[in-house]
Structure 1
Amino acid sequence: MGSGQKTWGTPHHVLIFPFPFQGHITPMLKLAEVLSLSGIRVTFLNTHHNHRRLLSSPGVGARLASRPGLRLRSIPDGLPEDNPRGLTEATEIIAAFDATAPPLYRDLLSSGGADHDGAPPVTCVVADGLLRFAVDVAEEMGVPIFAFRTCSSSSFWAFHCIPKLIETGVMPFQDGCDLDEPVACVLGTESFLRRRDLPSFCRTKDSDDPNIRFLMDLTENSTRYRGVVFNSAEFAESIVLSHIRGKVRSTYPIGPLHGLLQAVEHSTGAVGDGGGDGIPSSDSTSLWQEDRACMEWLDARPTASVVYVSFGSVVPLGKEQLLELWHGLVNSGYHFLWVVRPDMIVDGGVPAVVAAGREERGFLAEWAPQQEVLGHPAVGCFLTHSGWNSTLEGMWAGVPMVCWPFVSDQLITSRFVSEVWRIGVDIKDTCDRAVVEKAVREVMAGERSAQMRAAAASISKTARESVEVGGSAFKNLERLIRDIIKSINSSTP
């Protein structure tokens, strides 16, 4: 790859198939761009609904059209158009997609994916690990398949340890159990992991909970893939990656993928391709329209004086939670930029006190260009839900965090932020204005602020080195490409 040699004239054609949520689309579309720049033909398969939203963002379609060998395709998700497709509808989304997508996906593989644009047949699949049917159909069609897990490697490993958690009595959770009790059976994390830090699905009171069975099935399926790709990095999660490697065929930690994409652009001479004809240099993959007025607002603020607040693309908030967070931010005394999605407040709109008081010290945006915001010198703290994409972007930017995790892998990620990487404060299981105020002040100017900033700057430097030519993520990408091509060649009659 580093030599710039391209393979578009050969039959290598990879289908990349994400689960239809923003947090899954973002890293997998980055991978599609990376592979296309590396010389492999790529088809990115989205849903109709998300495809339209993606291309409605200014410049995104033009940028993706400029990627050599990359084409976008979409299929229905089985839901009515007015379905909100949020976190509360996750079970409905999975059921509808499991019923609708498999025959369309099978047709795409059986036809080889070839159509009027002259693309060669699909010869390899990289599918989201949440798509249970993807590996069944690929095996049936004789097409090699790799899994992509969009959660942290640590969360993946915790899911793998669920049988042991049940065997040792950590799960199911009993009424009144001690959430701060250490968990010893998730190997590699014994010195810091507590019951409350396990992924939220582990908080069940029933070991036969359908969500637990679903996760166990996904984990068991991991051995059926040619390998598992993680948007993670050796330097960040080496303590669990070493254990995962003993359970799956091959692992490819190639993150942070947004940084790797930049490095591949440089190594292939693609930088500047987006510089003319109205094509922006931004690598946004947002399904939401970004409010760029927030960048002008940040320009007027002093260095490291602003708290950036975002809880991602699907986390819902109640009014009481919103008000506690709001008062905690206001009472901290710092300016803040807060992303409040139109669908975020589950029991009504933004309370009047928030709407009326935002001019005092805060800026509310429906969506923001997060990578640019985190890279702005005015931002001194990131109040986050600890979603994995957001965490990687915060690490890349070197911004210390206040973690308020909500669901799934966010709970274990926030513990890594505070106790392993030591680049932030974890306030999980609380939503109290006094706690929020104290945590923000601690990160911005408390006794440990200097240490957290130094640790964040160090991890940012390491992340940037890992994606450069010769770095661990770059080498893992080269190995992934070699193994994709090898799997195609070995499957060709």
Structure 2
Amino acid sequence: MALNPNNSNKKCRVFLIPQLMRGHLIPMTDFAKLLVVAHPDVEPTMVVTPGNAALIKSSLGQSQSFGRVQILTYPFPSECTETNVETMGVGSKEETMLINKSLLSIRPVHEELLGKSKPDVVVADSLFYWAPNVAAEYGIPCLFFFCSGVFPFVVFKHIYDMQPSMGFDDCHRVITVSNLPGPKIEMPVTELPNYRIRHDEVTGKLLDSLFRSLPDVFGIVVNTFRALEKEYCKEYERIQSKRAYFIGPVSLCNASNVDGVIHRGGKGDVGCLRWLDSKEDGSVVFVSFGSQCYFKSEQLHELAIGLEHSRRNFLWVVRGDNMEEWMPDGWEDRIAGRGFLVKGWAPQVAVLSHPATGAFMTHCGWNSVLEGVSAGVPMLTWPFAAEEFINEKLLVEVLGCAAKVWDGGKRSTREEEHELVPGSAIAHAVSKFMEPGSKYVAMLSKAKNVAVSALAAVQYGGSSHGDIKNLVKDMFGLIGKNVMPN
């Protein structure tokens, strides 16, 4: 339901500048859709490089409802990369690292673009820490968009403030994150974000810059909802002391747009949906580790063995073309009819909401966390990088709607330290997790309850709907103001 405009003659031109990775591009596109629905005089524009325009278009779908979302492209700095790929996670690991490095040199392009276009409001990905200063040069109010939840932010901020003397260099140590609301959180040092414990100078400077830039933004838009993270939302507001708008789960904006769901983020493989139609309700485990998971061949081999020996139906999203390097001999013949491989882009939201999907094996990236809980699907967790181990804590220890795939050896955010997860452990985890019984039933019940609260949040009168309403009202109030409100 659209909100009544404050002034029908006033337009609000909003530039949305996402980080160039699918996990950031897709939710910010969903956010643009929410702005269109929220107010007829908001004019959102997705600002991306040419190589990412097609991804935005596919995510918008064919619905005329989102026709007001415009796309403005700016050149990707040619001197910053040796590849034609402009989206992290689409190409090889090396190409992704190149793009990530190049983004540190993209500020001048943003400066020129904002200087020429002068939108009314800028909403920038939080990793573009320079956006508030650049926008302020032209008198443009700026907000940050956070693609991750508040729980990982709150936990990480407490870890970030802890001194090195707390034992971050001791790989055998378990760190207790103190002064948190909710249950006590303990993190093995090996599972802490690599950029916090390995003295990564580049990432360390990036995070320092991000935290220093928070006071310069008008507010922060977060893809989460209050019922999911409850007391952590309050702690988040206290820590960063800026206006916070919890407007998620943004993926639910596609609920009535079938085309948008299937092709959200790329041309989805609809064949997997037809395959799911042939399976019994709750009988399939969906296996997907996001666009930036680069498992070694040895681990893929063990995962294939584990899924085969679990005796459960599975839908597995596989990266890369060199499957002969890891696929066991005769494997495809043995799992025929029981397993389905998606070798391209999977319509994840559609898969998770399908009645046949009974479990979700995930890396615990925030988008996957939100999409999983929104669908009411219990999760098997297998984190491997960044804040994913922290997200796992929320799912397993706070919400109680997930279980670990493996906890029998060393897990680490550093690939070289993460022990190989054996196929036997994977088979046992999948088989037992989906076995009818009290444990699965309890997790399923909790997952379904979270899904109900997610839907309630985005509907009229819900917390996220209310925050979108407040955000739009504040955006109109910012038009023409040359200073950042405190």
TM-score range, shorter chain: 0.7 to 0.9
Deviation at 1:67, TM superposition (A): 1.7
Select which of 465, 468, 478 maps to 1:477.
468
Decide which moves more: 36-45 or 357-366: 357-366
Summarize deviations over 1:181-239 as a string: whole Å, max 9, x none: 25133622661332358542256343x64323322321232221111111011111123
Contact residue 301 and residue 326 of structure 2 kept, 8 A: no
1:299-448 alignment to 2 at 5 Å? 299-342=277-320, 352-359=329-336, 361-366=338-343, 367-427=345-405, 429=411, 431-445=421-435, 446-448=437-439
1:128-139 alignment to 2 at 5 Å? 128-139=125-136
- Measure, in 2, the Cα distance between the counterparts of 1:377 and 1:363: 16
Summarize deviations over 1:450-487 as a string: whole Å, max 9, x none: 10011111111111111111111111111111221222
Superposition CA RMSD, Å: 2.8
Deviation at 1:447, TM superposition (A): 4.3
Give me the identity figure in percent: 28
Report the number of matched residues: 460
Deviation at 1:75, TM superposition (A): 1.8
Deviation at 1:385, TM superposition (A): 0.8
Q: Report the CA distance shift for 1:290/1:2 in structure 2 as closer, same or farther (over 3 A).
A: closer
Contact residue 14 and residue 44 of structure 2 kept, 8 A: yes
SS at match of 2:314: strand
Q: Report the CA distance shift for 1:109/1:343 in structure 2 as closer, same or farther (over 3 A).
A: farther
Q: Report the CA distance shift for 1:191/1:51 in structure 2 as closer, same or farther (over 3 A).
A: same
The answer to whether structure 1 residue 185 and structure 2 residue 178 are counterparts is yes
Partner of 1:211: 203
Q: Report the CA distance shift for 1:359/1:318 in structure 2 as closer, same or farther (over 3 A).
A: same
Contact residue 60 and residue 284 of structure 1 kept, 8 A: no
Q: Report the CA distance shift for 1:364/1:190 in structure 2 as closer, same or farther (over 3 A).
A: same
Q: Specify the code of the residue in structure 1 equivalent to 2:205.
A: R
Decide which moves more: 184-193 or 24-33: 184-193
- Measure, in 1, the Cα distance between the counterparts of 2:318 and 2:65: 32
Partner of 2:28: 28
- Structure 2: which 5+ residue stretches go unaligned? 412-418
Q: Specify the code of the residue in structure 2 equivalent to 1:236.
A: L
The answer to whether structure 1 residue 108 and structure 2 residue 113 are counterparts is yes
Deviation at 1:5, TM superposition (A): 4.2
- Measure, in 1, the Cα distance between the counterparts of 2:319 and 2:356: 22
Q: Report the CA distance shift for 1:477/1:287 in structure 2 as closer, same or farther (over 3 A).
A: closer
Deviation at 1:131, TM superposition (A): 0.9
- Structure 1: which 5+ residue stretches go unaligned? 114-120, 263-270, 275-279
Contact residue 152 and residue 409 of structure 1 kept, 8 A: no
Partner of 2:231: 239
Partner of 2:140: 143
Partner of 2:17: 17
- Measure, in 2, the Cα distance between the counterparts of 1:6 and 1:293: 46
Deviation at 1:489, TM superposition (A): 4.5
- Measure, in 2, the Cα distance between the counterparts of 1:261 and 1:301: 24
Decide which moves more: 450-459 or 72-81: 72-81
Q: Specify the code of the residue in structure 2 equivalent to 1:200.
A: P
- Measure, in 2, the Cα distance between the counterparts of 1:189 and 1:168: 25
SS at match of 1:44: strand
- Measure, in 2, the Cα distance between the counterparts of 1:358 and 1:235: 40
SS at match of 1:193: strand
Partner of 2:45: 43
Select which of 276, 291, 304 maps to 2:269.
291
Summarize deviations over 1:75-119 as a string: whole Å, max 9, x none: 2323344448435545532332332x33332233222x2xxxxxx
SS at match of 2:260: coil
Select which of 104, 113, 117 maps to 1:98.
104
SS at match of 2:52: helix
Partner of 2:459: 468
- Measure, in 2, the Cα distance between the counterparts of 1:454 and 1:411: 23
Contact residue 231 and residue 257 of structure 1 kept, 8 A: yes
- Measure, in 2, the Cα distance between the counterparts of 1:424 and 1:170: 29
Contact residue 304 and residue 379 of structure 1 kept, 8 A: yes
Q: Specify the code of the residue in structure 2 equivalent to 1:147.
A: F
Decide which moves more: 327-336 or 69-78: 69-78
Deviation at 1:66, TM superposition (A): 4.6
Q: Report the CA distance shift for 1:325/1:7 in structure 2 as closer, same or farther (over 3 A).
A: farther
- Measure, in 2, the Cα distance between the counterparts of 1:486 and 1:67: 24
SS at match of 2:148: coil
Summarize deviations over 1:13-41 as a string: whole Å, max 9, x none: 10000000000011100011111222201
TM-score (norm 1): 0.85
Q: Report the CA distance shift for 1:227/1:203 in structure 2 as closer, same or farther (over 3 A).
A: closer
Summarize deviations over 1:243-276 as a string: whole Å, max 9, x none: 22123211111111112565xxxxxxxx6xx6xx
SS at match of 1:338: strand
- Measure, in 2, the Cα distance between the counterparts of 1:313 and 1:459: 25
Q: Specify the code of the residue in structure 1 equivalent to 2:224.
A: S
- Measure, in 1, the Cα distance between the counterparts of 2:50 and 2:325: 28
Select which of 170, 176, 179 maps to 1:174.
170
- Measure, in 1, the Cα distance between the counterparts of 2:370 and 2:152: 14
Summarize deviations over 1:304-331 as a string: whole Å, max 9, x none: 1111111111111111111111111111
Q: Report the CA distance shift for 1:482/1:4 in structure 2 as closer, same or farther (over 3 A).
A: closer
Partner of 1:450: 441
